[in-house]
Each structure stands twice: as C-alpha cells, then as structure tokens.
Amino acid sequence: MGQIVLTKVRKAFGEVEVIPGIDLQINDGEFVVFVGPSGCGKSTLLRLIAGLEDISSGKIEIDGKDATDAPPGKRGLAMVFQSYALYPHMSVRKNIAFPLKMAGMSEAEQNARIENAARVLNLSNYLDRRPGQLSGGQRQRVAIGRAIVREPAAFLFDEPLSNLDAALRVVMRQEISELHQKLKTTMIYVTHDQVEAMTMADKIVVLHAGRVEQVGSPLELYNAPANLFVAGFIGSPK
Ligand code: ADP
Ligand code: MG
C-alpha cells in the first residue's frame, strides 16, 4: 500500500505547459519531499496525484492500479491542508469526523477512528473544543487528524506549516516525522524550504520549472548534486 508511479505525467493550463512530463516512483512507506522555488509546479503535481486536477496526458498508478481517471475520493489518498481549513463552528471531534460522516461511516466506527487518531496526536483531551480554543500547533494536528481517520494509503501535505511561526514550524516538523515513524505510511510533503526537505525526507524530488532536476536522499543531493541548480538550491558546495 502507498506505492505511486507517475509515467510521462504532463499538465497544461490552456496554452501554458506547467509540467512537460514527469516520471517518478514513490515507494510504500517513503517520506518524499517535493522541493523547489515558488511557481515550479509542486502544488500542481501534488494536486494531479490527488486527482484534484486532471492530467493532460500520461499515467498515474496507485498500488499497481491505474488511477489516472479515478476521482479524488477513490484514490485512497488524504490531503492535509493548512489548519485554517478547519471549520471554526465545529468541535475538534466533528472536524475530524467530517470526512467519515461524508462517507457514511457508522458512528461507532467513526468514534473508534477518532479516538485512535486523537491518541496518536495527543488531542484526546481537546475533542470537545473548537479550533479557536486551540494553539496553532494543536490546530495543525487536528488538520492532520482529519487525514489519519481516513486510513489513507498515502498522506499528501502542501506546505502545511507555512502559516506557522518559525519556532512552531520546527516543532511540527518533528511531530510529522514522528507520525511517519509511527504510521509507516507513505507521505508526500511539498515545501519550498530546503531545511524542511533536508531534515524530513527519505527521498527528495527537486523541481524546477515543472521538471525533475534530481531525485535522491538528502545526503546524495548534498554530496552529489546533479547540476548547479540543485547545488545552489540545496546549498551544497558544487
Ligand atoms: P508551486 O506550488 O511550486 O509554487 P504551482 O504548482 O502552484 O507552483 O504553480 C506552477 C505554475 O502553474 C505557476 O506558473 C502557476 O501560475 C501555474 N498554475 C497553477 N495553477 C494554475 C491554474 N489553475 N491555471 C493556470 N495556471 C496555473
Ligand atoms: Mg504551491
């Protein structure tokens, strides 16, 4: 579970080709970071994988099955949004339950999953609060909880920490890494922050103008950047 294979994935918005063609394999249980400067296509690529945008051509396989035309809800993936996407008028419990309720799951099963997610995220004592009564870090954990309860084959994060202050960002990075170690589920994490990429990733995918410049472990990229763009971006002395 959690293997994602992209073959010649291309995306154009009208005349503008944002992603000319990407081949990429993400393995089960990997923590993969898409990193690159603003506008290089990170969010677009993630949204193509999630099914929130249609690809213009190519193929997306998830766990060996062709998912190219599958709607987002049938891909078995869960996108984690920034915490401001929470419903302010709903309790933490209801926020986390929302996707399960939409899927028509029984209350008993919903509650079991919510309590499990709350335990993993240290939110058990906060389930009856509203997002406005939580700290920034707790709110971000609720947003992650909403993904965990769906028991996805992979989690997709799009710059989830970018509206948190620097100190909290460091804490949340650590928490997401620990979550990955606990769940051992594939995670794809989009960021423009090199430090985030280097500290969190098993595998980094460096993007530049819709193309993959290099794929490798943080150490590989640092020690052997494929070109000057990667060297400059990662900050290694090539
Ligand atoms: P990143 O997340 O790396 O900052 P994006 O994936 O958001 O980059 O954007 C990549 C490029 O695609 C940008 O040039 C952006 O303007 C363009 N783009 C993204 N979404 C759309 C859209 N819906 N319509 C037209 N152009 C888009
Ligand atoms: Mg983006």
**Which amino acid belongs to residue 78?**
A
Look at residue 238 and tell me whether its pLDDT is greater than 60.
Answer: no
Nearest CA to ligand 1 atom 23: 13
Task: Give this complex's ipTM.
Answer: 0.98
What is the reported pLDDT for 24?
A: 98
Nearest CA to ligand 1 atom 21: 13
CA of 157 to the centre of ligand 1 (A): 16
CA of 37 to the centre of ligand 1 (A): 12
36 Cα nearest atom in ligand 1: 3
Is the CB of residue 42 below 6 angstroms from any atom belonging to ligand 1?
yes
Mean pLDDT computed over every residue of the chain: 95
The structure tokens listed for 177 are 């890494």
β-partners of residue 96 are: none
The structure tokens listed for 61 are 């396989």
Q: What tens digit of pLDDT does each residue of 189-220 get?
A: 999 999 999 999 999 999 999 999 999 999 99
Is the CB of residue 177 below 6 angstroms from any atom belonging to ligand 1?
no
Is the CB of residue 173 below 6 angstroms from any atom belonging to ligand 1?
no
CA of 57 to the centre of ligand 1 (A): 17
The structure tokens listed for 83 are 């915490």
214 CB-near residues (< 8 Å, 6+ apart):
204, 205, 206, 221, 225, 226, 227, 230
Is the CB of residue 18 below 6 angstroms from any atom belonging to ligand 1?
yes
H helices of 129-165, in order, are 136-148
Q: What tens digit of pLDDT does each residue of 18-57 get?
A: 999 999 999 999 999 999 999 999 999 999 999 999 999 9
Is the CB of residue 191 below 6 angstroms from any atom belonging to ligand 1?
no
β-partners of residue 77 are: 154
In terms of Cα–Cα distance, which of 174, 160, 150, 94 is closest to 127?
94
Distance CA 157, CA 46 (A): 8
Is the CB of residue 52 below 6 angstroms from any atom belonging to ligand 1?
no
Is the CB of residue 140 below 6 angstroms from any atom belonging to ligand 1?
no
Q: Would you list the DSSP string of 155-199? A: EEEESTTTTS-HHHHHHHHHHHHHHHHHH--EEEEEES-HHHHHH
